[in-house]
Amino acid sequence: MSSARFAGTERYVATEDLMMAVNAGITLGRPVLVKGEPGTGKTQLAEEVARSLERPLFEWHIKSTTKAQQGLYEYDAVARLRDSQLGDDRVKDIGNYIRKGRVWEAFTSEVQPVLLIDEIDKADIEFPNDLLRELDQMEFTVYETGETVRARHRPIIIITSNNEKELPDAFLRRCFFHYIRFPDAETMQSIVEVHYPGLKQELLREALNAFYQVREVPGLKKKPSTSELLDWLKLLLAEDIPPEALRASDKRAIPPLHGALLKNEQDVHLFEQLAFMHRRNAR
């Protein structure tokens, strides 16, 4: 058990329920599962927790090909076979061919670390189940050497998911769960304030208006998210676009520098169609 508490940082706006889930996870030493739309700062959460509690961060990014075992360790049998054919001396010690995974590294950390398991839903359906024991008992055995690795400090585990697959019940039961909702206009304003302090109020208001309008458009393949808004604002600032230009944009329905918000040609096309219909109706 740990007494550290997370309360957001100057770079990251945490809502009350998010803090509650994270603190519950820290206190009871259980994983926190964070879901939400892409671009709402799930991955960043782990970085900020590590930073604010001054703990080392171990990131394990999951791909569709990742196996649970790879987080613990990998035994490079192929390298050993090659070495044996070439008569290398290293071949006699099997330990030379065991490569530590991120979980192992986190287990051996001197102080309590933060372990991020990013996008767990990308992996195979069985992946979370394969990690159950390791996350529960915080130990595992290396079969090749018979060594048992035990966590020196129970890591703070943060797991993110994009909801591409449903996760198994047995796994969910062991986690605290938080769903990052898309921020409302008020929270969004404070998020922007954190990233671009002193942004002209008028520009911000118009930009947020335009942004939420874009999100409201039905049938978008990918709705722009917080991270895209922040990029867009950066561009607007760099190009020194006046707030008036944004206001005019809802007449023409396509905002300036929309490339930062709309990420595929179908969406841009949809927008152009809407803009066209808008002009026609206005006439």
Partner 1 sequence: MLAEFFFLLRKAGLRVSITEYLTLLEALRARVASVSVDEFYFLARATLIKDEALFDRFDQVFAAHFKGIEQLFQAFSAEVPQDWLQRQAELLLSEEERQKIESMGGFEALMEALQQRLREQDDQHHGGNKWIGTGGTSPFGHSGFNPEGVRIGGKGGNRRAVKVWEKREYRNLDDSVQIGTRNIKLALRRLRRFAREGAADQLDLPGTIESTARNAGLLDIRMQPERHNAVKVLLFLDVGGSMDDHVRVCEEMFSAARAEFKHLEYYYFHNFIYESVWKDNRRRHAQRIPLTEVMRKYGPDYRLILVGDATMSPYEISYPGGSVEHWNDEPGQVWLNRLLRAYPHAVWLNPEPEQRWGYTPSIQMTRELMDERMYPLTLRGLDESIQGLRRPVAVTALAGAPEPAP
User: Is 164 near partner 1 (CB under 8 A)?
Assistant: yes
Phi, psi of 264 (to 5 degrees): -145, 160
- Out of 76, 132, 177, 195, the residue judged to bind partner 1 by CB under 8 A: 177
Q: Which of residues 135-154 bind partner 1 (CB under 8 A)?
A: none
User: Is 9 near partner 1 (CB under 8 A)?
Assistant: no
3-state secondary structure of 35: strand
Could you give the CA distance from residue 71 to residue 229 in angstroms, rounded to a whole number?
34
**Nearer Cβ to partner 1, position 23 or 44?**
23
From residue 134, how far is each of 12, 69, 128, 204, 216 by CA, in Å? Answer: 30, 10, 10, 46, 43
User: Is 50 near partner 1 (CB under 8 A)?
Assistant: no
User: Is 100 near partner 1 (CB under 8 A)?
Assistant: no
Between 66 and 85, how does the x/- string for binding to partner 1 read (CB under 8 A)? ------------x--xx--x
User: Is 181 near partner 1 (CB under 8 A)?
Assistant: yes
- Out of 9, 27, 44, 129, the residue judged to bind partner 1 by CB under 8 A: 27
Joined together, the tokens standing for residue 189 give 């304003």
Q: In the complex, what is the shortest distance from the CB of residue 221 to partner 1, in angstroms, rounded to a whole number?
A: 8
- Out of 176, 211, 232, 271, the residue judged to bind partner 1 by CB under 8 A: 176
Q: Which residue has the tokens 């950390």?
A: 109
Joined together, the tokens standing for residue 159 give 């797991």
Q: In the complex, what is the shortest distance from the CB of residue 235 to partner 1, in angstroms, rounded to a whole number?
A: 28
Q: In the complex, what is the shortest distance from the CB of residue 166 to partner 1, in angstroms, rounded to a whole number?
A: 5
Around Cβ 7, how many Cβ atoms within 10 Å? 9
Could you give the CA distance from residue 93 to residue 98 in angstroms, rounded to a whole number?
10
Could you give the CA distance from residue 219 to residue 210 in angstroms, rounded to a whole number?
17
Q: In the complex, what is the shortest distance from the CB of residue 28 to partner 1, in angstroms, rounded to a whole number?
A: 6
Q: In the complex, what is the shortest distance from the CB of residue 105 to partner 1, in angstroms, rounded to a whole number?
A: 22
Around Cβ 43, how many Cβ atoms within 10 Å? 18
Within the chain, how many helices (H) and strands (E) appear?
A: 13, 9
Could you give the CA distance from residue 245 to residue 151 in angstroms, rounded to a whole number?
56
Could you give the CA distance from residue 243 to residue 236 in angstroms, rounded to a whole number?
9
- Identify which range of 50-58, 89-97, 158-166, 201-209 contacts partner 1 by CB under 8 A: 158-166
User: Is 157 near partner 1 (CB under 8 A)?
Assistant: no
**Nearer Cβ to partner 1, position 197 or 219?**
219
Residue 31 near residue 25 (C-beta atoms within 8 A): yes
Could you give the CA distance from residue 183 to residue 194 in angstroms, rounded to a whole number?
14
User: Is 283 near partner 1 (CB under 8 A)?
Assistant: no
Binding site for partner 1 (CB under 8 A): 1, 16-17, 20-21, 23-24, 27-28, 30, 32-33, 35, 64-65, 78, 81-82, 85, 164-167, 169, 172-179, 181, 218-219, 266
